[in-house]
Amino acid sequence: MKTIVKFDGQKDTIQGECSAREAMEVLGLNPKDWKRTDKVVTEKAVTYTLERVRSLALVPVVHGVPEPDEPVIEEAVIEEGATEKLEVATTAVPEIAAGQITVDREELEAVLQVVCDITAKKDLMPVLGTVKVEASPENLAVTATDLEVSYLATIPAVLEKNDATAFLVDAGILYKEVKALNKSIEDVVITVKGDSIRINDRCNLPATLTDDFPGIETIDGVKVSIKDLKSALACVLPAVSTDEARYILTGVCFDLTAGCLIGTDGFRLHRATVEKADISQFVVPRRAAAILAKYGAENLTVADARISASVVGGTFTSRLIQGDYPNHAGVWPDTAQYNKVHFKAKEFLGLLPGVLPVSDSAKIEMTINGRIDIKAESATGSYNWYVPADSTLVGETKTISINSRYIVDAIRAYASSEEIEIAFPSGYAAIVLNEQALIMPIRQQ
């Protein structure tokens, strides 16, 4: 018996019978590079057919046209009988720490209401539409920001099943779900698990890690106390400009050395008297001023570029508008020689349901002669009525064309006494309402 080995077109003969591996070693072939593909046994010989194998390294894909007898190899070939151990590096995906938070419903609802006034629209930056919730064994911290204004409130809470947890959740949906709870429910129970939170076993909300949430700056500046700030801001806010082209006018001017707050859009100006303070003039953006007016705040901390105030048990912060505010003091006229008319705010405002349907513009005409005649005209009709009034105008009439929204805003802002006084000059100039608002008339065509 003999052994015949066929490989790479060659044929070698070995005296005696041996295995395929022994035959490879006798012929000087590395068993790692060859594999047996066929074995034929006869009475006189055993014949092995060998085929060369690839190494364990990856074989690149052949993109060209192969030689006629060359196979196209498109993936790695592993030696027969060999085993390859693949070690896949795995990184643990961080998860929100589990826990169960119990917090007073009324306190959480009040804080989340402020949060919803702060959070930005989702299309600006999705993370700014979320609220950051951080719980410890005894407290719950809630943070919101749109990068211009921020709010951080801490309220008592109980955290079980963990020492701390933190997550981001959609601010608007969380507020609505908490608000939707029956008023008889005293506590909100938030169960944090995995990538979601469950509220009082009635709804699940997706939650995410807090890594991408912006940091909140603390303010260290001058302390200022402004009594009745809420009502003062309500008076001046209607006149604040919304035109970004005159950016400095899109905020409320705090001129505390003069003891007043100012709002203007260039066509009207509202003023509110407040306590004086020895601090430089600063301008608070309209949106921040509206939040202070809504929730009330009498103590401010003023720094070079930001302010902060206590709002609903938390700290509210806002940037300031940088620039020089127009000289408002120089525009106030001496009304000693002006004619004046007095009327009831309620009676004037009662005309609006009749004026608006036939007015396709904001213009109305006010004719003063013992009383105030109101006229509005459009393609759809006309309106004429009057308001009883006391006037110092004698022997003549005075007709003023004016933006109806401007005068209505002013009357509503300064009608706490119900008595409205309008002082008007003989020529074309701003009218003065209750010595607190200036309104420029519309020039007659």
pLDDT for 80 equals 47
Are the C-beta atoms of 151 and 162 separated by less than 8 Å? no
pLDDT for 71 equals 47
CB burial of residue 184 (10 Å; 0-12, 13-18, 19+): exposed
pLDDT for 122 equals 66
The label of the residue with tokens 């401010």 reads 300
pLDDT for 54 equals 55
Is it true that 99-206 and 222-319 share their CATH fold?
Answer: yes
pLDDT for 78 equals 41
pLDDT for 46 equals 84
User: Residue 390 corresponds to which tokens in the numbers above?
Assistant: 């006391």
Q: What is the β-pairing status of strands 268-273 and 437-439?
A: antiparallel
- pLDDT mean by block of 10 residues, the chain; 445 residues: 81 81 81 82 83 54 45 43 47 80 96 93 82 96 94 96 94 95 94 94 94 88 92 96 93 96 96 93 96 92 93 94 92 90 91 75 85 85 89 82 91 85 89 94 80
Q: What is the β-pairing status of strands 398-403 and 381-388?
A: unpaired
CB burial of residue 146 (10 Å; 0-12, 13-18, 19+): middle
pLDDT for 64 equals 44
Domain boundaries, the chain: 2-52, 99-206, 222-319, 333-439
pLDDT for 77 equals 43
- The superfamily (CATH) of domain 222-319 is DNA Polymerase III, subunit A, domain 2 (3.10.150.10)
Beta-carbon neighbour count of residue 81 at 10 Å? 8
pLDDT for 23 equals 82
pLDDT for 324 equals 92
pLDDT for 76 equals 40
CA dist., res. 256 & res. 211, Å (int): 40
pLDDT for 60 equals 43
- pTM (predicted TM-score): 0.74
pLDDT for 66 equals 45
Q: What CA–CA distances, in Å, run from 305 to 222, 287, 319?
A: 12, 16, 6
Task: Please name which of 356, 388, 355 lies closest in space to residue 372, comparing C-alpha atoms.
Answer: 388
pLDDT for 360 equals 62
CATH assignment of 333-439?
3.10.150.10
What CATH architecture does domain 99-206 belong to?
Roll (3.10)
What are the residues facing 151 on neighbouring strands?
Answer: 144, 316
